[in-house]
């Protein structure tokens, strides 16, 4: 069974480093009223808005009204409403509280709201596994295809909010292999994909997806070599690697990963646009699909000269603090 990405969309409200003449992969300034009724929009936090917009764009591009399943990954869930309810509760010392923020604070609000707006009674689930939140949703999409379902809506979202931002920053920036450099910034965003086992016009094939728990750099190299050979691809057939790193962090895992390839392999750093958030690797996948479709690598994220030949295979690698590693291989 093959897995195809029929369509994809990303909203990055706080994106950085857009090149002057770049055909950017994402939307930063979305007119949400195009996708959501004003009455509903007013109550929706940022994470819900951007998710509904990204989901609706991905569905529209796939020419699909209703998916058979909705699968969403989120690292930290609905932070705006969580912060609001916590603040209200602490200020009122457990007094009389409005339920609105509480109702919208659960992680499954994202997938639930999309299901509600689409009136989709199909399978609906939410995954929250740090840097694997999106990849777990994507793995489940593949299982749904294996079970005979088709047209799965799979996506991811995370948001930042003022008070919590300091907390998240402190947590992300501490510990081994935190990957913090001058380029580092905390981002937020939402990416959605329609996934099918049937190839359509503009489909990108998801050739391989590999998740690993905590590992060491040499084991990582061994798993990578196995992964490539299991998909009958030699390292020199990979035209571009997209890394969840920033240039020159000295991260030993990304270094070990690159060692498997020729030194001159074209490399892109997606977080230069999206910033860091638990589900930013969903943007990396969308970016990879965009690059394969447009055959051009945005200058602002490439660490090396873009290749001259046709871009056929892209490999994405991401990890979080030496844990939750993932490889994602896509082909045109």
Site residues for another protein per CB under 8 A:
70, 74-77, 85-87, 89-91, 93-94, 96-99, 102-109, 111-113, 115-116, 118-130, 132-133, 136, 140, 143, 146-147, 163, 166-167, 170-171, 174, 211-214, 278, 323-324
- Which of 169/258 has CB closer to another protein? 169
Q: Are 207 and 1 in contact (CB under 8 A)?
A: no
Shorter beta-carbon distance to another protein: residue 77 or 179: 77
CA distance 148 to 150: 7
For residue 70, the minimal CB distance to another protein (Å) is 7
Taking CB atoms within 8 Å and a gap of at least 24, the contacts of 108-112 are: 108/72, 109/48, 109/77, 109/78, 109/81, 110/47, 110/48, 110/51, 110/72, 110/74, 110/77, 110/78, 110/157, 111/70, 111/71, 111/72
Residue 331 dihedral angles phi and psi, to the nearest 5°? -140, 150
- Find the shortest distance in angstroms from Cβ 226 to another protein: 16
C-beta of 109 vs 313, nearer to another protein: 109
| Shortest spacing between CB 85 and another protein, in angstroms | 7
Q: Which is nearer to another protein, 220 or 289 (CB)?
A: 220
Burial (0-12, 13-18, 19+ Cβ within 10 Å), 92 = exposed
d(CA 187, CA 329): 24
Q: How far is the CB of 299 from another protein (least distance, A)?
A: 34
Provide the minimum distance between the beta carbon of 115 and another protein in the complex, in angstroms, as a whole number. Answer: 4
Report how far residue 320's alpha carbon sits from residue 317's, in angstroms, rounded to the nearest whole number: 11
Comparing CA positions, the residue from 116, 197, 120, 127 lying closest to residue 156 is 127
- Compute how many other C-beta atoms are within 10 angstroms of the C-beta atom of residue 96: 6
Angle CA(286)–CA(311)–CA(1) in degrees, nearest 5? 65
User: Which C-beta is closer to another protein: that of 75 or that of 298?
Assistant: 75
User: Of 135 and 239, which CB lies nearer to another protein in the complex structure?
Assistant: 135
Name residues whose C-beta falls within 8 Å of residue 240's C-beta, 6 or more positions apart in sequence. Answer: 265, 266, 267, 268, 288, 291, 297, 307, 311, 313, 314, 315
In angstroms, give the least distance from the CB of 2 to another protein.
Answer: 16
Query: Closer CB to another protein, residue 128 or residue 280?
Result: 128
Q: How far apart are CB 160 and another protein at their closest, in Å?
A: 14
Please, where are the H alpha helices in 181-240? 217-230
Shortest distance, position 157 Cβ to another protein, whole Å: 13
- Residue 162 or 308: the one with the smaller Cβ distance to another protein is 162
CA nearest 10: which of 188, 150, 139, 183? 188
Output the smallest distance, CB 279 to another protein, in A: 11
C-beta closer to another protein: residue 75 or 266: 75
């Amino acid at each position: 069974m093959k897995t195809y990405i029929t369509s994809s969309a990303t909203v990055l409200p706080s994106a950085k480093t857009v090149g002057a003449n770049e055909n950017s992969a994402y939307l930063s300034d979305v007119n949400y009223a195009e996708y959501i009724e004003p009455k509903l929009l007013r109550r929706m936090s940022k994470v819900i808005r951007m998710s509904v917009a990204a989901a609706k764009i991905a569905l529209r591009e796939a020419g699909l009204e209703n998916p058979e399943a909705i699968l969403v990954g989120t690292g930290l869930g609905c932070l705006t409403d969580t912060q609001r309810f916590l603040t209200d509760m602490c200020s009122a010392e457990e007094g009389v509280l409005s339920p609105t923020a509480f109702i919208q604070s659960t992680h499954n609000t994202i997938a639930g709201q999309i299901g509600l707006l689409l009136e989709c009674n199909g399978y609906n689930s939410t995954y929250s596994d740090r840097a694997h939140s999106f990849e777990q949703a994507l793995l489940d999409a593949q299982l749904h295809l294996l079970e005979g379902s088709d047209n799965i809506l799979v996506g991811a979202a995370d948001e930042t909010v003022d008070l919590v931002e300091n907390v998240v920053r402190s947590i992300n920036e501490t510990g081994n292999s935190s990957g913090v450099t001058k380029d580092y910034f905390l981002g937020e965003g939402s990416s959605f994909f329609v996934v099918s086992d049937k190839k359509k016009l503009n489909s990108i094939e998801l050739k391989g997806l590999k998740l690993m728990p905590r590992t060491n750099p040499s084991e990582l190299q061994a798993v990578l070599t196995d992964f490539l050979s299991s998909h009958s691809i030699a390292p020199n057939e990979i035209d571009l690697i997209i890394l969840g790193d920033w240039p020159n962090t000295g991260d030993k895992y990304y270094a070990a990963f690159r060692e498997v390839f020729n030194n001159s392999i074209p490399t892109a750093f997606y977080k230069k646009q999206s910033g860091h958030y638990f589900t930013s690797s969903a943007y990396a996948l969308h970016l990879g699909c965009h690059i394969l479709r447009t055959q051009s690598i945005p200058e602002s994220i490439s660490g090396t000269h873009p290749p001259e030949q046709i871009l056929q295979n892209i490999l994405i690698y991401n990890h979080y603090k030496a844990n939750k590693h993932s490889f994602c291989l896509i082909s045109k």
